[in-house]
Structure formats: C-alpha cells, structure tokens
Structure 1
C-alpha cells in the first residue's frame, strides 16, 4: 500500500491539512467551528479526488479488457509505476500476452490440422481408388485366373498400405497427446537391431542388398523396446526403399559416457540439401522420395526417439547415400 504513490500523496495532503488546521486553532485566527468545517471539506475533497482517480484507472482497465475481448490486440497496458493498480495492469498484460500466444498456436494447429486431413485423405484416396478399380475388374467373367490372382494381390497390398498409414497416424496421435508411458528396460542392442531388420530380409534379398550390423554384442540400451523397435524399423525401411539394387545397409552402434549411438547408413540415392531440414516433418516428401512414400515414418521415428530423451540427425550426399544418427542420452 505504501508503494502506491497516489495513496501516499493523499495521506500527505491530509496530514498537511491537519497541520494547517492545528496551527490555525492555536493562533485563533478563525473560529474553531469554521476551521473544523474547512478541514472536513478539504478532507472530503481529497478523498473524492483520490477515489475518482482510482475509478478512472479501473474504467480504463475495463475498457481495455472489453476491447481485447472483441479482437483488439494492442498491448499498451504495461505500467512501470508502483502500486496495486500497476501490479494489476502488469498481471493483465502478462495474461494478454499468454492469450495472444495461445491464439497464435491454435491458429497454427488449425492450419496444420487442415493440411494433415488433406494429406491423409489424399494418401487414403490412392489405395481406395485402386481397390475400387480392381474390384470392378474382378467382377468380369472372362477374366483369367492369373489376372484374378494379380488383382487380388494388388488389393491386399493396398489394404496393407492403408492399415500401416492408419496405425502410424494413431501412434503419432498417442505420442502428441502424451498418453504413452515409455518403459525403461535394459535391451541388448544387437538383438534389437536384428529384430528391427528381420521383416525386411526378404525384400533385401530380392533387391540383392546386403545388411551389416557392427558393434559390441554385449552392449545394452535403456529404452522402451517396442517403441524403439518401431523407430528403428521405420528408418531401416526408408533406407531400403531409397537404396538401389545391389546396394548395402550398414548399422553400427557404440557407447560413451554421454549417450548410446546407433548409426544407420545406406548407399542409396541420398537426400537433396534443400530437403534435409524437412525430412522429419509429417507428410513431407522430398525430391528423391519413392513412389510409395507417405512421409510419416521418419516423423514417427523422431517423435519416439525425442520422447525418450534422445535425438536424431541425418547427413546425406546425393547419389552416395545417407546416414542417420540416433543418440539415446543417459
């Protein structure tokens, strides 16, 4: 209260008036009744002046809040003076800043959601169209048995692609919502990497691609095995899809006092420099992206690794290959 300059000024004026009244009473210049009346009028005047000033400030605050509520975004409320009203102004200023920031985030999220829905519908539209066409063709009586098997395989492939996309989106949604509780298990790294690559061995064999895993067989990693397996699998899948026939995938791992490092390198087509800053963004497809690429696998991998207090980096040279570095900090 004593930091409020207006309050201090009001008290000082009242004290001065009281001193003047005391002096007047002592010298008997004016009758005491008139002195008391004069003192009362002055005191009331000072109180009215002080109260009016506070009401004016409160009115300004009310008008500012009303204008802010109806869309005005001017932040001219900051007050560097001392006092209760100044503290209230500054708190309102901070609140308005927070609300503006949240408004901006909501606007950004709205744009992102609209783009995401557009991308998802586009990704689902392609396999759905393919399934519809194949189903119509299967109804033809004169269709050969070989063609029927081919169209059935195509339908199953399209359904697998849709299922993978939907599952990946659900996983990302769970991570975004913070509803995933990551376990902290001690996992053997070599067995983890072998398990992540097992489902791609047939595809690599068909493409005449070689796989090499290098590192200490006894080295372990503290992580959630299921989710980390998902992250590594997506990166390996990306490397295989962008590596030509006869190429190679090399996975190495090591440990130091700060983190456990897993490096996944390929001899593929590489990533253009302008695409490197964006490859972990959802639905982003670079210039060298494969035709079947959705642009969600690497985004999911990054979310999983970051949620486990890790980091992921990539370096790439076009027509030479790419190397992903996964760091799991202690």
Structure 2
C-alpha cells in the first residue's frame, strides 16, 4: 500500500548503516496501542507489507510472508498470551471446556483493552528501509488506534531494537556512553508522558553507573567486563536503553545468572531503546522523528574524541551526581551534538 503523501519527514540515517562484517544493520520496531481489534491491526500490517494474516488465538495474530519476514500483533501480557490463567484456574479446581475458554478469553480481552496494550512487533528490517513503518503508523491512526495520551492509564511506548555495527566491547561501550550523556536531552525532546515517567518500565540509570561509564577512562577490557559492570548496577530490563537482549545474546548464562525478569529477556544482537512514547493517534507524530533522535546517539557513539570531551565536561557539571540532570548540562547537549 503506497502512502507517499504521508512521508513528510524522511528517516535520517546514521553515518554507518552496514555491519563491520558486511551486510546492512537492521532495526526492529514495536508499537503499543489500544482501541483496535487485533485482527484489524494485523490486516493493517498486511496492507502495508503484504503477507497473510493468521489468527493464532484470541490474543495473537501473525502476518506471515511479508517483504521482511513475519510480523506479530499480540496483547502485551505474557500471562494471557501463554494462557497462564488456565493454570491458575486449574489449580483452584476449575477446568474449562473449549466454549467456556473462549468465553473467558473474550471477557479478559474486554478488561485488558483498558489496561494492556496491543503490540505490533516488526521483524528486523534494514535501517535504510524504515520508511514504510510510518505508512503503518498512519494506517493504524486512520483505523482509530489510541496512543499514550489517550488515557491516564496508558503508558504505551514505541521501541527500536537497533543492531550495532559490531558486538565488540569498545563499540558497545561507545553506545552506552553516548546514550547516558544524551539522556536528559532525549527525554525532553521525546516529550516523555507523565504516565511513562511514573511507570517503572524506563527507570533512569543509577548515578553511580552513569559516573562509571561516561568517565573517559572507562574502557572495559572485554565484553564480559562490560556485561558484569552493567549487571552490577542494572540487573533489570527496566531501563530506557535495555541492554539485556544484546548482552544475553553475547553471554546468555552470565546474564541469566544475575538478571531479574529472566522470563522476559529475549536474546538478540540489538540494543532495546524503550524511551519514546507511542503517540500513534496524534496526526503530527512521526516514527521518523523519534528515529532521528536515536541517530544522534548512534553517530556520537563512534566519535571517541567528542565522547571523551563530553564525559569530562559532564563529570565537572555543577550538581553532579546528586542533581544528575541539571538544566545546565541539558542545555549543553544540543551544542555538543551540533543540534542547537
């Protein structure tokens, strides 16, 4: 489905779009929303990317054979998707017939619609081919998808799973340094909604970890040291840049031995950027704009001289670490990034 008229904001690209070993870097996308029937959302995916819609059950649809592989549209609750409620009912002596199970599922779906988002999960696509994602956003908006600000109960997000050029410790540490240094600016530029600020899902990184990583002297000797430092301070997925997937991809046993929420960690060679709202029902909102903010982090991660100078400046900013995100530092970031 062509919707070129809606692409009024192109997707900017980082300076490196290929992996060090060759081939394009990929990006996965996750959109959380309410207000639509799961089958209608799946059909919107198929309208943009092709493929066939398959209803797995009440809570999951897939769109198979698209131009990029398989998409899924699912209720974002592991208890419902895994039918964990059946186990709970069985343990209290209730076993349901197929008809009654469907009836219970419909009731749960009606209740969940006010609290739990649906989620479109896109397969990894080459980052140079992200433009149709805004076509999907617009089509979902036209079909009445509701975003973060549609209810005080919604803490919906839009998430990128970004593949780095390689998985070496210097490259990954560079991304962490860049993100931590840019975080106050990213948070303001994204217009983070209060429901998401108050939720636990994107808790800020602890000050002592920020101090450790942004120091120009921080150069972990290998991936194991980088992972151990991260887990010492962040044994949780609940960070705006969740590194559990990429670290579990590198060393699953090391991560699973120490991480919280083990059952929710999905190893993959990508950073899980969870900060943006999903303002899918607002006509002016664009995925391309949120991506552009990430690109600033992506490019900064490879600029060792600027990272070192910014780190030194940050550590000398008045108020650190007790008042980590002071206006004085936040106002400096666009100048460092040449985005004034």
* TM-score category, normalised to shorter length: under 0.3
Query: Which protein has greater RCO, CA pairs closer than 8 Å, 6+ apart?
Result: 2
Query: With structure 2 as the length reference, what TM-score do the two structures score?
Result: 0.24
Larger Rg: 1
Query: With structure 1 as the length reference, what TM-score do the two structures score?
Result: 0.24
